[in-house]
């Protein structure tokens, strides 16, 4: 019997139920612990996985919701059976603390179980029925039924900053499997071992549930040709992606440029601005500063919902807030980042902000190699409106305070924002009128609008929206978190005068 409490990577791809090696190898670059070698994926591996996924769809896409729910729950069980081994390899590869990996595993497992429960309920199918009206004049109406149906094999790209929740068995994979769509995952090389052990869990669930082996494949490593061949493969019908704006936009364009364009559901980044309204700032500015410091530096700032911007009206209270924020950040030391590349990009973003006209440095830190220390800068509303570069994401614990002249400039700044995952209002009762002016702007800019909180921490639930207008995501009508995310991998099909024997089972149960 397989020992699920220990794990040493073997470095192979999982394709259609077989662990497959490749000719080329790459070595991992863990934050600590031993490096491991992994096979490099190729377009040939992609083709084999996509063909297997298409073959699996003919059974899995027409399976019952009860069978798919049992499969999702079994994946969760298999992940939990490997809990300690997943945490060990995950912390080694990413440098994330044990508590973070344990929490992320809980979120991943909880998400799988939530989706299993949700599809059993059946509301997500949006079933509709217009009964026939044979005697209607001047023309009779046929019997018309509608239901959401799975679209086919889905490609998923593992995220660098979430080795579990947005990777191998994360939100995109769970949503696609819940919908009835087989999945081909391109693992992220930053945590290839974590991807492998989670793939083992899915593989065991496939065998236990008697699911077609092509329902899930994992391809490790590979250069740009692997990602290109995956999103352009004719059997792939949609793509889920969490990552950089540049990488996501390139894949989005490839999907749109296909002879048969397919949807690309990309979550690409955000600066997640917070608006500190005057009464709240006066009453509890120091508390808001302490909360922002914790949110900004959580996980070395490596969250797509990291609140990088604070906007407040110039006043003595603004001076006090800046002083409180500076004191809150000063004791926070350097943290290990997920990869050397992410750390280098963080320093480049810091240099870009520091070199922008009208920006003043409030906290000067030193970070090198794979470390990230917090930085804090300040500028004015006029400089923000004149320098679009200030609105570009810096992935890491860097904060920018924007002091605007008055309510009007605060609203103008809100209008200038590009699409965001989140926008936050810190307000008290006396700020209601200004909040009412800002709300129509903010809800057009973001997928989630918060009051008196911090956007880090995305609850997995029915009502959650994790997405927003471009460039926060490439499809503003979708979410990558919550039960609504399943709808990304479904399409409505209408059945007219169809005999019951030919209708999909979901229309009758």
Query: Phi and psi for 3 in degrees, rounded to 5?
Result: -80, 110
Q: Provide the Cα torsion 448, 451, 452, 456; round to 10°.
A: -10
What is the DSSP annotation of 34-63? Answer: ---EEEPP-HHHHHHHHHHHHHHHHHHTTS
Instruction: Determine whether 209 is an active site residue.
Output: no
Active-site pick, 93, 196, 255, 304:
304
* Paired sense of beta strands 490-496 and 420-426, if any: unpaired
Instruction: Determine whether 267 is an active site residue.
Output: yes
- Whole-angstrom distance, CA of residue 99 vs CA of residue 438: 37
- Whole-angstrom distance, CA of residue 179 vs CA of residue 60: 10
Query: Phi and psi for 385 in degrees, rounded to 5?
Result: -65, -25
Q: Residue 72 region, left (φ>0) first, then alpha (ψ -120 to 50), else beta? A: alpha
Question: Are 157 and 103 spatial neighbours (Cβ–Cβ below 8 Å)?
Answer: no
Which alpha helices (H) appear in 122-257, and where do they start and end? Answer: 171-179, 192-209, 224-232, 245-256
Active-site pick, 78, 267, 317, 409:
267
Q: Provide the Cα torsion 60, 65, 68, 73; round to 10°.
A: 180
* SS3 label, residue 144: strand
Question: Are 338 and 389 spatial neighbours (Cβ–Cβ below 8 Å)?
Answer: no
Question: Are 421 and 268 spatial neighbours (Cβ–Cβ below 8 Å)?
Answer: no
* Paired sense of beta strands 238-242 and 264-267, if any: parallel
Q: Which residues pair with 203 in a beta bridge?
A: none
The separation between the first and the last C-alpha atoms of the chain, rounded to the nearest angstrom, is 39
User: Which positions are catalytic?
Assistant: 267, 304
């Amino acid at each position: 019997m397989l020992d699920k409490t220990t794990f040493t990577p073997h470095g192979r791809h999982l394709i259609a139920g077989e662990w497959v090696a490749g000719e080329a190898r790459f070595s991992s670059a863990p934050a600590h612990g031993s490096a491991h070698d992994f096979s490099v994926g190729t377009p040939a591996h992609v083709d084999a996985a996509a063909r297997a996924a298409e073959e699996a769809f003919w059974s899995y896409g027409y399976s019952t919701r009860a069978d798919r729910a049992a499969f999702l729950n079994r994946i969760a069980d298999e992940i939990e059976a490997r809990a300690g081994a997943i945490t060990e390899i995950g912390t080694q590869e990413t440098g994330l603390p044990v508590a973070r990996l344990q929490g992320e595993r809980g979120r991943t497992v909880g998400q799988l179980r939530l989706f299993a429960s949700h599809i059993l309920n059946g509301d997500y199918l949006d079933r509709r029925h217009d009964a026939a009206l044979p005697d209607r004049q001047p023309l009779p109406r046929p019997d018309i039924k509608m239901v959401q149906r799975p679209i086919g094999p889905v490609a998923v790209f593992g995220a660098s900053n979430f080795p579990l929740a947005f990777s191998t068995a994360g939100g995109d994979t769970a949503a696609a499997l819940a919908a009835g769509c087989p999945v081909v995952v391109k693992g992220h090389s930053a945590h290839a071992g974590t991807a492998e052990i989670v793939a083992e869990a899915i593989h065991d669930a496939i065998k236990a549930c008697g699911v077609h082996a092509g329902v899930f494949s994992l391809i490790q490593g590979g250069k740009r040709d692997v990602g290109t061949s995956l999103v352009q493969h004719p059997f792939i019908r949609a793509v889920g992606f969490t990552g950089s704006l540049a990488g996501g936009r390139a894949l989005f364009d490839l999907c749109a440029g296909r002879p048969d364009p397919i949807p690309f559901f990309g979550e690409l980044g955000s600066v997640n601005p917070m608006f500190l309204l005057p009464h709240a700032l006066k009453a509890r500015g120091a508390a808001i500063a302490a909360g922002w410091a914790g949110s900004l530096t959580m996980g070395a700032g490596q969250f797509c919902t990291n609140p990088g911007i604070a906007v407040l009206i110039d006043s003595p209270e603004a001076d006090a807030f800046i002083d409180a924020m500076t004191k809150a950040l000063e004791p926070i030391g350097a943290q290990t980042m997920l990869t050397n590349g992410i750390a280098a990009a963080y320093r480049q973003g810091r240099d870009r902000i520091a070199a922008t006209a009208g920006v003043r440095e409030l906290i000067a830190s030193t970070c090198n190699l794979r470390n990230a220390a917090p930085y804090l800068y300040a500028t004015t509303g006029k400089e923000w409106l004149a320098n679009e570069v200030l609105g570009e994401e810096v992935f890491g614990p860097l904060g920018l305070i924007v002091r605007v002249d008055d309510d009007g400039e605060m609203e103008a700044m809100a209008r200038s924002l590009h699409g965001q995952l989140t926008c936050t209002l810190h307000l008290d009762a006396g700020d209601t009128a200004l909040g009412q002016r800002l709300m129509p702007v903010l809800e057009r800019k973001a997928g989630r609008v918060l009051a008196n909180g911090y956007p880090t921490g995305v609850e997995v639930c029915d009502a959650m929206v994790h997405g927003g207008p471009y460039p926060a995501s490439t499809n503003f009508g979708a979410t990558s978190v919550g039960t609504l995310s399943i709808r990304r991998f479904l399409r409505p099909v209408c059945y007219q005068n169809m005999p019951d024997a030919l209708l999909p089972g979901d229309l009758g149960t």
